[in-house]
Amino acid sequence: MSLVTSLRAVALPGLIIATIAGAPAALAQTPNPPPSSLPPASATAPVNPAEQQLLSRLATGATLEHYLDVLSDEFANLDADGDGKVTQRDVELHALMETIRIRLGAWTGVMRFDLDGDGFVTADEMRRAAAYDWRTSRALAARGKAPLGGTEETIDRMVTEVMALDTDKDGKVSLAEAGKFGEAIQRQNLAINGLAARTRQALTLETVSADELSRAAYEAAGEALFRKVDADNDGKISQQESTDARRKSAQAGANAGAAEAAQKRTRELAELAQKRQAAIDAERAVCAMPAPSGKARIVLLGAYETESLSGLTIGSQDAVVNAGRVNIEPGDEPLYVVIASYTPTIWQFGGAVERVERIVLTSWSTGRNSSDPKQGPVAGATGVGRDRVSFLSRSNCINYFYETPSSGALQAAGAIRAATGRAPDVIAGQYAVSTFSVPSGRIDTVREHRGQRPAVRQGSNSIVGPGNIIIQFGPSRASDDALRYWPGGVVEIDPKTVVATAPVAPYEVLPAQAGLAQLLANGGITQNKAGEYIVRSKMRFPPGLYGAHSVTFLVMKGAPYPDGDPGHSCVIVEETGESKGTGCRSR
């Protein structure tokens, strides 16, 4: 048993293998099989490696629309430098990154045996670690049951395999020596299935022009393949069509009409590429952004959420809208600010707002705990004139992100570059923010400022936090939870000052636990010792009662069923004994 095989037995080299592979999960589910394992191609199936790659992405049951979406994602994965085309530069960049992953995987596989942390692995350390890892297997062997591994012979082979890396023969394996572990095997695997290999294959497509492959040309080749495999022209790939495409032998050799057929295919692919380019241009037009001036500094900000709730909603009483602040720092340079968040947010701009040339806002969530890429975002701004605020047309035009560097941040930056022709000058992001400072990209949070934690103001039945942040309710279990989820409290905003994607209005009932606390304070509900909320009169469910925010409501006899959306909460109606909602336990 080799060391890699042995490590698999103790669930360790999943780390190594995953690290070296480095492919997105969606693509890893449909890996390129080695050429030797591919069934013979058919007359309708690919006859070169690039088209084999296209076929490997064509799943049974796929429609053309779904297949083109898959190829669009695949093209973005192949386009290593994100310049909108696949070239030899992408092959080289993928190869470089794969070399780094091989080295990282080798270090992970060997240096985990460095028990004393001195940066070296000895044979004794390996034996001690192996004995620990295989303690259960050794116990089974001692009881006469077949061991899963960990015999002395197995451990000896492991030690020999790793210590063979000790090229200077000093009795220990250094970090530099460990970097060679499994290199040949991994390079062999990547030569077939790695991104560099897949990118090199894509560049052999007929649609490649001047050593460049555009997304339109890549999708055109895929569409041509789909239409050939879809023998009955019903717009979907059946199991039989998929099987035929992989098993029938390709027609070999030239024939009298080969040249004419090749010319026809070239014309068809060119026409398809033009159609795909038109579709891509239309897609980009939907996500168009105003052009920044030559002097403007482009700032990209990302967050999952903010630490405060907005006292206003946008478009619907069932939407959860947060509030965040953007402080514009003094300076002369005009600023082009793009903010991408997951949660719908009203951003309050302050400071040197005269510097703001343009604000572009988006949110991934489109309300009611959901995201519909065909809908526009839910967002708003205050402090800047309407003529300087823009909203993207679709929620998926720019991905939200909350870490830099990260794939999400790079994709968001790429979307800005594609829309404006320029990359952001500053990128900053965090999961939960209170205030962004621009253009420095500094991020402030309430949680980080221990001295500014909200405090109870006695006699006013309210909780006040920093910066005009206020919750109008008294102490309760729900209010404690509200401040845990939103330590900045609820921000009161004048609706007349808001520029938003839809009409704004004060909440009838605040979202989630803030709304529960509000209802408790005004007598709209009560709470029993089990933490369930008792409804005795007309009320509205607080929006956003999804996931960890979900609770149980008991609607008592004589009380009308509440308005609004209970989310994932359980609602039990006394009058009928009916239980409604996904949060109710099955009996």
Q: Is residue 275, in this structure, part of any structural domain at all?
A: yes
Confidence band (pLDDT; 50, 70, 90) for 160? Answer: confident
Mean pLDDT of 33-55: 53
Contacts of 572 (CB under 8 A, 6+ apart): 552, 553, 554, 555, 578, 579, 580, 584
Cross-strand partners of 500: 380
350-374 burial, b for 16+ CB within 10 Å, e for fewer?
ebebebbbbbbbbbbbbbbbebeee
243-253 burial, b for 16+ CB within 10 Å, e for fewer?
ebbbeeeeeee
Q: What CA–CA distance (Å, rounded) separates 428 from 412?
A: 11
Is 90 exceeded by the pLDDT of residue 570?
yes
Segment 385-412, tens digit of pLDDT = 999 999 999 998 898 999 998 888 988 9
Q: Is residue 506, in this structure, part of any structural domain at all?
A: no
Look at residue 187 in the predicted model and tell me its pLDDT: 65
Look at residue 146 in the predicted model and tell me its pLDDT: 56
Look at residue 362 in the predicted model and tell me its pLDDT: 96
Segment 62-115, tens digit of pLDDT = 898 898 889 888 888 889 887 888 999 888 888 888 888 878 888 888 888 888
What single string gives the DSSP state of each residue in 36-70? GGSPPP-TTS-SSHHHHHHHHT--TT-BHHHHHHH
The structural domain count of the chain equals: 4
Highest mean pLDDT pick, 30-39, 157-166, 457-466, 467-476: 157-166
Examine the domain organization and report whether 267 and 316 are in the same domain.
no
Examine the domain organization and report whether 317 and 339 are in the same domain.
yes
Examine the domain organization and report whether 375 and 420 are in the same domain.
yes
Mean pLDDT of 109-123: 86
Q: Is residue 469, in this structure, part of any structural domain at all?
A: yes
Examine the domain organization and report whether 22 and 156 are in the same domain.
yes
Q: Is residue 363, in this structure, part of any structural domain at all?
A: yes
Segment 263-306, tens digit of pLDDT = 566 666 777 777 777 777 777 788 899 999 999 999 999 999 99
Do 524 and 560 meet the contact criterion of CB atoms below 8 Å apart?
A: no
Examine the domain organization and report whether 10 and 136 are in the same domain.
yes
Of the two residues 421 and 276, the one the predictor is more confident about is 421
Look at residue 148 in the predicted model and tell me its pLDDT: 54
Q: What CA–CA distance (Å, rounded) separates 292 from 571?
A: 51
Nearest to 394 by CA among 340, 317, 432, 315: 340
Q: Is residue 217, in this structure, part of any structural domain at all?
A: yes
Q: Is residue 515, in this structure, part of any structural domain at all?
A: no
Examine the domain organization and report whether 135 and 231 are in the same domain.
no
Examine the domain organization and report whether 133 and 181 are in the same domain.
yes
Look at residue 562 in the predicted model and tell me its pLDDT: 96
Give, in order, the Cα–Cα distances in Å from 60 to each of 65, 67, 221, 241: 14, 10, 18, 8
Examine the domain organization and report whether 71 and 92 are in the same domain.
no
Is 80 exceeded by the pLDDT of residue 23?
no
Is 80 exceeded by the pLDDT of residue 434?
yes
Look at residue 35 in the predicted model and tell me its pLDDT: 37
Q: What percent of the chain has pLDDT over 90?
A: 37
Confidence band (pLDDT; 50, 70, 90) for 176? Answer: confident
Examine the domain organization and report whether 267 and 383 are in the same domain.
no
Residues of the domain holding 250:
46-80+207-286
Mean pLDDT of 129-134: 80
> Which single residue is written with the structure tokens 């999804």?
546
Do 325 and 435 meet the contact criterion of CB atoms below 8 Å apart?
A: yes
Q: Is residue 244, in this structure, part of any structural domain at all?
A: yes
Q: What CA–CA distance (Å, rounded) separates 394 from 380?
A: 15
Examine the domain organization and report whether 194 and 211 are in the same domain.
no
Q: Is residue 531, in this structure, part of any structural domain at all?
A: yes
Q: What CA–CA distance (Å, rounded) separates 377 from 551?
A: 28
Contacts of 94 (CB under 8 A, 6+ apart): 78, 80, 194, 195, 196, 199
Q: What is the pTM of this model?
A: 0.61
Confidence band (pLDDT; 50, 70, 90) for 332? Answer: very high
Nearest to 431 by CA among 409, 463, 451: 409
Examine the domain organization and report whether 436 and 368 are in the same domain.
yes
Examine the domain organization and report whether 424 and 374 are in the same domain.
yes
Q: Give the 3-state secondary structure of residue 246.
A: helix
